[in-house]
Every structure is written in structure tokens, then in C-alpha cells.
């Protein structure tokens, strides 16, 4: 392997480091090289975060669960919970993709208040579930209904736990 290009890139760095060790002044070229090297390192770190799915919302643990979970993940989850057939999966997937697209647009719409966005997201999810119902069997519809009721109960408990004076965790 030819290491000459690598050696050429590292040579100025070694010269700069040697100057620093000896306590000499840096010239403009040395400062430019250091700043450029830090910029390249920053770009590599940021690119690595995006490649491994740790974007700004996911890395900080913020954002709504429905916008973080892509349609494939939701379809797999629904498939496991409802025992969907391949035909049902093929019919439900476009519904979830459309919902996901609309939720992302809604999430990015800063003209709406957070409360209005939540209401619209809830309505959008309800419409998607209504579109899914005719695709499901009666047993699957009943299971989906139970899942939705449990989800509503958990959300209600969370909202009650977040209220001041309710004994919830109010950090």
C-alpha cells in the first residue's frame, strides 16, 4: 500500500505539533490546518450520527413516537399483534406510509400550537385506523380496539401524572 499521500497529509500536522511542543508561534497556515482538521473531525462525527440513525430528535430522545417509528416498524408491530396475512400487510403498508408522511409534515408545521398538532395527529391516526378496519377480520378488529383502549388509558394516566399536585413526576 502506498502511504505517500497519507504521509504528505500528516507532515504539516507533525510540523505544527512540533512547533506547539517547543512553544513557538503559529503562523496563519498552521492555524488554518488546525481549524480545517477540527472541521473534518466534526463532519465525520456528524455524518456517523446520521448513518447510525442518531439524528437530532432521536439522539436527544425527543420527538413524538409516531414520527420516530417508520411505517415498516409499525407494520411489523401490527403484524405481530394482529397476525396479519401477507395480503393484509400489502394493503395496510401504503396507509401507514401516507400517515407517516402526513405526521412528519404536521410535526414540522411550526404555525400550529403543540396542542393543535396533537389534536391533528390524533385525528390522522384515527382516520388511518378507520381505513384499516375493512382490511381486518372481526377478531383482528376487536384486538385492535382493545389495543387502542389500553393506549388511551396509558395516555390518560400519563397526563394525570404530569399535572401539578397530582403526585406525578413534575420535573
- What gap in Å lies between CA 67 and CA 102, rounded to an integer? 9
Cα 41 to its chain centre, rounded Å, is 23
38 φ/ψ sector (left φ>0, alpha ψ -120 to 50, else beta): alpha
Top-confidence range, 4-13, 53-62, 84-93, 104-113: 84-93
The pLDDT mean for the chain works out to 77
pLDDT surpasses 80 at 142:
yes
pLDDT surpasses 80 at 21:
no
pTM tops 0.85, yes or no = no
Those residues whose C-beta lies under 8 Å from the C-beta of residue 141, and which sit 6 or more positions away, are 133
pLDDT surpasses 60 at 134:
yes
Q: What is the pLDDT of residue 85?
A: 93
Top-confidence range, 6-10, 22-26, 65-69: 22-26
More confident residue, 1 or 83: 83
- What gap in Å lies between CA 122 and CA 128, rounded to an integer? 10
More confident residue, 132 or 66: 132
In percent, the amount of the chain with pLDDT more than 70 equals 70
Average pLDDT over residues 35-39: 85
Q: What is the pLDDT of residue 98?
A: 93
pLDDT surpasses 90 at 10:
no
Residue 104's alpha-carbon distances to 91, 108, 124, 150, 151, in angstroms, are 21, 6, 12, 25, 21
| CA angle 29–31–36, rounded 5-degree value | 95
C-alpha cell at 7: 504521509
Q: 394493503: which residue's cell?
A: 91
Q: Which of 10-19, 24-33, 100-109 has the lowest mean pLDDT?
A: 10-19
Q: Give the tens place of pLDDT for each residue, 92-123.
A: 999 999 999 998 898 888 898 888 888 898 89
Amino acid at each position: 500500500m502506498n502511504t505517500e499521500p497519507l504521509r504528505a497529509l500528516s507532515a504539516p500536522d507533525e510540523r505544527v505539533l512540533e512547533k506547539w511542543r517547543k512553544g513557538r508561534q503559529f503562523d496563519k497556515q498552521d492555524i488554518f490546518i488546525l481549524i480545517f482538521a477540527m472541521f473534518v473531525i466534526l463532519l465525520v462525527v456528524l455524518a456517523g450520527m446520521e448513518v447510525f440513525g442518531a439524528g437530532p430528535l432521536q439522539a436527544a430522545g425527543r420527538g413524538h413516537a409516531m414520527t420516530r417509528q417508520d411505517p415498516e416498524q409499525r407494520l411489523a408491530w401490527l403484524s405481530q399483534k394482529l397476525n396479519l396475512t401477507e395480503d393484509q400487510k400489502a394493503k395496510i403498508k401504503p396507509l401507514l406510509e401516507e400517515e407517516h408522511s402526513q405526521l412528519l409534515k404536521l410535526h414540522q408545521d411550526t404555525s400550529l400550537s403543540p396542542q393543535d398538532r396533537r389534536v391533528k395527529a390524533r385525528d390522522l391516526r384515527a382516520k388511518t385506523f378507520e381505513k384499516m378496519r375493512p382490511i381486518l377480520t372481526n377478531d383482528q378488529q376487536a384486538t385492535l380496539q382493545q389495543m387502542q383502549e389500553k393506549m388511551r388509558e396509558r395516555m390518560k394516566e400519563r397526563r394525570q401524572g404530569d399535572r401539578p399536585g397530582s403526585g406525578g413526576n413534575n420535573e
